[in-house]
Structure 1
Amino acid sequence: MRNILLLVLAVLVTTIFIPIMLIQSCDVAKPKIEKQPIVESDRVVKVYIQETGKIEKLDLEEYIKGVVSGEMPASFEEEALKAQAVAARSYALSRINAFEKDGHPGHPGAELCDSVHCQVWLSKEKLGKLKSKNWMKDYWPKIEKAVDDTKGLIMTYENKPIDQPLFHSTSGGKTENSEDVFTAWVPYLRSVESPYEEEAPHLQDTQEISVVDFISKIKKKYNDCDVNRSNIKADLKILEKSEGGRILKMQVGNKVLTGREIRDLIGLRSANFKIAIAGENLTFITNGYGHGVGMSQWGANGMAKKGNTFDEILKHYYLGVEIHEME
C-alpha cells in the first residue's frame, strides 16, 4: 500500500506541480510586448508630366529639389536657394491641400504639373541631359543641401499655410501689390522695395516694334480699336501706374487696356515700361522681368549677398509670414 501511495505522489509531482512552477518562473511563458514606434512616411506629391502625359508620384522633398533646379539659377547664394525651396514647398503644400482628392482641374489626378502652369520641375535624369557634368557635380549637391537644410519648412500667415507664395525673376526695384496684377487682395503680397537687383540680366530691357506691326497686333485682338498710324503719339497715353511702377491703365486709341494686356500682346518682359516713338518705330523700355508679385529671385540673391538669411529674405518679400514646419 505504501508503495502505491509513493507512486501516485511521484506522478502528481512530475505531471502537475513541476509544470506549474516552470510556468510561473519562465519568461517565455510571459513575454514582454514592446510597442513599436509609429514611423510617419514622407509626404508624396502627384505630378503630371506634360512631355509623357503621365502622372508620377514623387517624394515631396525630391520634388522640391527639381523645382529649385528649374526655377532658380543654381549659382545663386545658398540662402537664396533656401528661400526658393521654402517658397516652392509652401506652394506645393497648398496644391496638395486643395487638390489631393481628385487632382487639379487642369490635370486631373495630380495636384501639380511640371510646367510654369504650376512650378517648373526637372527630374535629376533630365537635368543630367540638359546640364553639363560640371553642373551636376558642382551645383546639384548645392541644391540638395539647400532643400535638405530647410526640410519640411513652409510659410504661414496667421498660423495657416499660405497658398500664394508667388515669385518672379526681377521686380525692377519694387514689387507689386497682388490686386494690381491678379485682382485678388492678399495680405502678405504687398508692394515692398527690392533694392539689390543690380546684377539681374533683365533689370532693364528694350524691345522695338514697328508702328505698323504694333497696330496690327492691337487690331487683331481688339478689332474695334481705332488706333491710327498717322496719329500714334496722341493715340498712346499712360493713364495709371501701380505702386510698384507697372502700367495699370493705358489709352490706346479709343480703348483703355492694362499694361499686362500690352505686355502679353507684344511679348514684353514686364508691364513696367515706357514707350519711345521715333519715326516708324516704337521702343518699349521695360523695367524688371515677370509679374512682380511676391519674391524677386534676383532681389533674394542680392539680399543673400548682403548677409541676409533665408527667413529674413522671405519675411521681407511676404509681409507678416512666419516659418514653421509642416504638420
Structure 2
Amino acid sequence: MPAATAQTPASAALPPAAEPRPQDAARVEAPPALPEAAGGTPVRVYLTRTGAVETVPLEQYVTGVLAAEMPADFELAALKAQAIAARTYIVRRLAAGDTGGTAGGKADVNDTVEHQVYLSRADLEEWPSRGKSAQLEKLRQAVRQTEGIVMIFRGQPITASFFSSSGGYTENSEEYWSLKIPYLRSVPSPWDATINPKNRETVEMPLAQLYSKLGQKVPEPVQTALAALNQGDNHAKAATKLSAGKLFKTLSWTSGRRVKEVRIGDQVYTGREVREKLNLRSSQFTLAVTGDTVKITTYGYGHGVGMSQWGANGMAKEGYTATQILKHYYTGISFQQASHFLK
C-alpha cells in the first residue's frame, strides 16, 4: 500500500482515521527457529548505570531487551515479533562491527534507548523472587520460539526501529529522520488507540513558557493580550487575541498524519522540533489555548518509525502471527538466520 498523502487541515483538526485492516493479511507462518551457534554469540553490553560491561550470549541479550522493551502481559505473538526486532537490531550492529555509543567502543551496545533498553542478567534473576516467574518464562518462550531469526531486506539485516504506540499510522523514515529507507514506510496502525489507555495525553503549560521553550520571546501582541487578561480589562477581546487560531497554524502533515511543519509566533518548526523542545510524547499533536494556558494533546508515543508495540499487541489479539505483524510494519522484508551474518 503506498504511503498516504500528507494533509494540511485547519490548525485544530485531527488527521483522518486509519484504515481498519493491515496491508498484509496473508496467513504466512513464521520461519522455523533453529538451534544454532549464533545463540551463543557473545554480546558485550555497556551498563550505563554502573559503567560495567556485561557479556552474555545473543539469546540472553534478546531476553534482556524483551524484558525491558515490552510488557510481559502482551500477547505471545507480539512478544515474538519484538524478540525478532531486538535480535535483528543487535545482529546488524555485530555484523557491521558498530560500537558507537558504548563509552569508547569497549562494548557492542549500551542498555539505553540510544540503542535498546536492556535488563541485565542480575536484574532478570531477581524476577522469580519478586513473583514474576511466569512473566520471565513467557519472555523466554518468545525468545526460544524465534531463536536465531532476524529480518532482512536485500540480503542484509534491517534497521529494526520500533516505538510504543501510534496515532493511527506509522511514519515514513525520511519524515522523522533524514534518510529514506524502503522498508520503513507509513502503514495504518488502528489498533493502538483501541487497546492503549494512554494513547492520548493532554499537557498544559503557560503560554509564555511555550514560547520560552521554543527559544522565542513572547510576541508583543501576545504580551499585551496577556496583560489585559490578567488585569481583567477587555477580557473577551484579549481572549480572542489569544485563541489557538491566532497564535498557531499547522502548515502541513506527514504521511503518517503527524505534524510536519507548524508556525508558532514568527517561526516555523518541524513537528519533531516541537516534540523535542517541549518534551512531548509524539509529533502528532494539537494546540488549544484557554486563558493564558496552552493545552497540547498528543496521540501515540514515540517517533513513529517501524513497528508500533501496542499495534503489534492489537494485531496479536486479532490472531495475527509474529511474521504477519512484522511484515505489516516492515515493508517488503523477509527472514534469515542470524548465523548467516555472524561467522
Q: Give the TM-score of the pair, scaled to structure 2.
A: 0.78
Partners of 2:74 and 2:121 lie apart in 1 by 19
Q: 1:144 to 1:228 in 2, by over 3 A?
A: same
Q: Secondary structure at the match of 2:191?
A: coil
> How far is 1:128 from its partner?
5.1
> Relative to total residues, which structure has the larger helix share, 1 or 2?
1
1:291 aligned to 2:303?
yes
In the other structure, the counterpart of 2:184 is 189
Structure-2 separation of matches of 1:211 and 1:223: 11
Amino acid at match of 2:295: T
Task: Indicate conservation of the 8 Å contact 1:227/1:235, yes or no.
Answer: no
Would the alpha carbon gap of residues 266 and 129 (structure 1) be closer, same or farther in structure 2, given more than 3 Å must change?
farther
- Tell me the equivalent position of 1:93: 91
Q: In the alignment, residue 239 of structure 1 is paired with which amino acid?
A: L
Q: 1:157 aligns with which of 148, 153, 159?
A: 153
Cα 1:142/1:256, change in 2 over 3 Å: same
- Within 2, Cα distance between the matches of 1:227 and 1:76? 50
Equivalent of 1:43 in 32, 41, 44: 41
Work out which structure has the larger RCO, using CA pairs closer than 8 Å and 6 or more positions apart in sequence. Answer: 2
Pair 124,106 (structure 1): closer, same or farther in 2 beyond 3 Å: closer
Shift of 1:216: 2.2
How high is the sequence identity, in percent, across the aligned residues? 40
> Structure 1 residue 304 and structure 2 residue 316: aligned?
yes
Aligned length: 283
8 Å Cα contact 2:42/2:57 also seen in 1: yes
Distance in 2 between residues matched to 1:306 and 1:120, nearest whole Å: 28
| Residues 1:275 and 1:110: Cα distance change in structure 2 (over 3 Å) | same
SS of residue in 2 equivalent to 1:104 = coil
Contact 1:218–1:225 (Cα < 8 Å) also in 2: no
Alignment partners' CA distance in 2, 1:207 and 1:305: 30
Q: Which of residues 168, 175, 179 in structure 1 aligns to 2:170?
A: 175
State how far apart, in whole Å, the 2-side matches of 1:214 and 1:166 are.
30
* Alignment equivalent of 2:212, drawn from 213, 216, 223: 216
Contact 1:170/1:202 (<8 A) preserved: no
Q: Which residue of 2 aligns with 1:36?
A: none
| Aligned position for 2:106 | 109
Per-residue deviation, 1:276:
1.0
Q: Does 1:202 align with 2:198?
A: yes
Matches within 5 A, 1:218-297: 218-219=214-215, 222=216, 228-229=222-223, 230=225, 232=242, 233=244, 234-297=246-309
Consecutive unaligned residues of structure 1, counting only runs of 5 or more, are 1-38
Q: Could you tell me which residue of structure 1 aligns to residue 73 of structure 2?
A: 75
Once the two structures are overlaid, the 10-residue window that deviates more, 241-250 or 104-113, is 104-113
Amino acid at match of 2:200: Q
Offset of residue 50 of structure 1: 0.5
Residue of structure 2 aligned with 1:118, choices 115, 120, 145: 115
Over residues 77-128 of structure 1, what are the superposed CA-to-partner deviations in whole Å (9 max), with x where a residue is unaligned?
A: 000000000000000011112235xx22553121200111100000242245
Name the residue aligned to 1:316: 328
Partner of 2:138: 142
8 Å contact kept, 2:162–2:307: yes
Contact kept? 2:211, 2:217, Cα under 8 Å? no
Give the partner amino acid of 2:54. E
* 3-state SS in 2 of match to 1:182: coil
Distance 2:37 2:121 in 1: 25
Q: Which amino acid aligns with 1:50?
A: T
CA contact (8 A) 1:48 1:54 kept: yes
Partner residue in 2 for 1:56 = 54
Q: Does the CA-based 8 Å contact 1:226-1:253 persist in structure 2?
A: no
- Report the AA paired with residue 84 of structure 2: V
Give the whole-Å Cα distance in 2 for the aligned partners of 1:90 and 1:227. Answer: 53
Displacement of 1:227 in angstroms is: 8.6
Q: Which one has a bigger Cα radius of gyration?
A: 1
The change in CA–CA distance for 1:60 and 1:236 in structure 2 (over 3 A counts) is: same
Displacement of 1:236: 1.6
**Residues in 1 aligned to 2:67 and 2:148: alpha-carbon distance in whole angstroms:** 18
Q: Secondary structure at the match of 2:54?
A: strand
Secondary structure at the counterpart of residue 56 of structure 2:
strand
Contact 1:215/1:228 (8 A) holds in 2: no
Once the 2 structures are TM-superposed, how far is the Cα of residue 40 of structure 1 from its aligned partner?
4.6
Q: CA RMSD in A?
A: 2.1
